[in-house]
Chains A and B, each alone.
Chain A
């Protein structure tokens, strides 16, 4: 009887332990990988699960939430031999927990390295300017470059974000210098342009003014011609108008001499006509 009761107690303990070890509750957001005697047998989904305690063993508890992987910053050399410093952040998701735990020893380490090396090779094919400006293109290429590699691990790469792409210190300084020089060049050109424009306008002004002056002289000459014609018509002879005009000018000149401040010793020819005749030559028949 005593042995029988001992057996009973042990049996109770056995059943209780078996049930306690066999009922497994997997929380949402995780999947558990179960091995049966060392070999993969099943993946437990979230919720209540039953496993056979003596042969089954939960060997990995894998998260199925997105994993944020920080890709450390690294120096990358562009196609035009410029060193830039780039870092990224990758978002991955485990689709097949069994592949993720059996396919690679440490998937986070693996993916981190893959992203680093791929980023290096992608930026290495680009010029500095395009690397700095085309982040989306880098992201697309990176996603495609890695996706084939991580397919075996049952992992999908949701996105890779390039966080910073910074030129190295010396490069940054020279880039700023270049920008400043460009600005300076533009300022100088603008100033020269202004000066050129001003000079052109000034010359244009002078040209216009002389043109107008010439026109004025022509008009004046025409006026003189007209007045001479009128005087000729009035005088009737050929010589008299000239004599008249010159006489008029002569008297004006004498008046001006008289008005001037310097010496008033003025010698006047008495015979204006002969004087004028002397000036204009013997064409005058007075």
Chain B
């Protein structure tokens, strides 16, 4: 067993890499791919440079981890939601609507959207202390039960200009 470990040649790495890529298709998680890719690169390195077996393994593990982290750092942000179906009621946050009943301090107002969102075109709404008038465009910041927390578009743009994104 030990002998085989010391007898690792570049094509071993290559075969391992391909096997791991095949395994990736059968396991549900998205993990085996990194090891496979790293193994193929290690195969190339060992073919080019004489590296001891332990260093090879460490390089392989490090490369796997780096690939994994790199994917999450650079590739994952590129994935966009192609549908909002099934994302739940939180998709309403960020939508803009128009106030049709002014929210008072003691009772909720009413906001209307151009299309029904999460099952209704008109929602009860409250503000976090700011004044909005009937006809104002407001943006939804939160949803609590069957009421929305809204803030007016003007103040929101002002806030977003002040805060670095």
Interface string of B29-66 (1 = CB under 8 A from A): 11110110000000000000000011001000100110
Question: For chain B, what secondary structure do more than half of its interface residues adopt (helix, strand, loop), or is it mixed?
Answer: mixed
Given A19-B35, A150-B145, A158-B119: A95 touches B89 (CB 8 Å cut-off): yes
Given A8-B54, A94-B88: A24 touches B29 (CB 8 Å cut-off): yes
A37 at the interface (CB under 8 A from B): no
Q: Which residue of A lies closest to B35 (CB)?
A: A16
Please give, as numbers and ranges, the residues of chain B lying within 8 Å of A8 by CB-CB distance. Answer: 53-54, 57
Please give, as numbers and ranges, the residues of chain B lying within 8 Å of A48 by CB-CB distance. Answer: 30, 71-72, 76, 79
Interface string of A68-109 (1 = CB under 8 A from B): 000000000000000000000001011110000000000000
Question: Once bound together, how far apart are the Cα atoms of A151 and B76, in whole Å?
Answer: 33
Question: Once bound together, how far apart are the Cα atoms of A156 and B5, in whole Å?
Answer: 59
B86 at the interface (CB under 8 A from A): yes
Interface string of A225-269 (1 = CB under 8 A from B): 000000000000000000000000000000000000000000000
| CB atoms of A95 and B61 under 8 A apart | no
Question: Once bound together, how far apart are the Cα atoms of A222 and B29, in whole Å?
Answer: 125
Question: Once bound together, how far apart are the Cα atoms of A157 and B143, in whole Å?
Answer: 12
Given A64-B87, A143-B146: A23 touches B30 (CB 8 Å cut-off): yes
A115 to chain B, nearest CB (A): 13
Partner of B146, one of A24, A31, A156: A156
| CB atoms of A94 and B89 under 8 A apart | yes
Please give, as numbers and ranges, the residues of chain A lying within 8 Å of B118 by CB-CB distance. Answer: 93, 156, 158
Question: Once bound together, how far apart are the Cα atoms of A7 and B118, in whole Å?
Answer: 55
Partner of A29, one of B29, B34, B86, B143: B86
A2 at the interface (CB under 8 A from B): yes
Question: For chain A, what secondary structure do more than half of its interface residues adopt (helix, strand, loop), or is it mixed?
Answer: mixed
A7 to chain B, nearest CB (A): 9
Given A46-B87, A151-B147, A157-B146: A20 touches B29 (CB 8 Å cut-off): yes
A5 to chain B, nearest CB (A): 6
A-B contact pairs, 21 of them (CB 8 A): A2-B2, A4-B54, A8-B53, A8-B57, A12-B61, A20-B27, A22-B31, A23-B68, A25-B28, A25-B30, A28-B85, A28-B86, A46-B81, A46-B87, A64-B86, A65-B88, A93-B119, A147-B146, A148-B145, A150-B145, A157-B145
Residues of A at the B interface (CB closer than 8 Å) are: 1-2, 4-5, 8, 11-12, 15-16, 19-20, 22-25, 28-31, 46-48, 50, 64-65, 91, 93-96, 143-144, 146-152, 155-159
If A25-B28, A95-B89, A147-B124 are given as contacts, then 15 extra A-B residue pairs at C-beta distance below 8 Å, sorted by A number, are: A1-B2, A12-B61, A15-B65, A20-B27, A24-B29, A28-B85, A28-B86, A29-B85, A64-B87, A64-B90, A65-B88, A94-B89, A151-B145, A155-B145, A157-B145
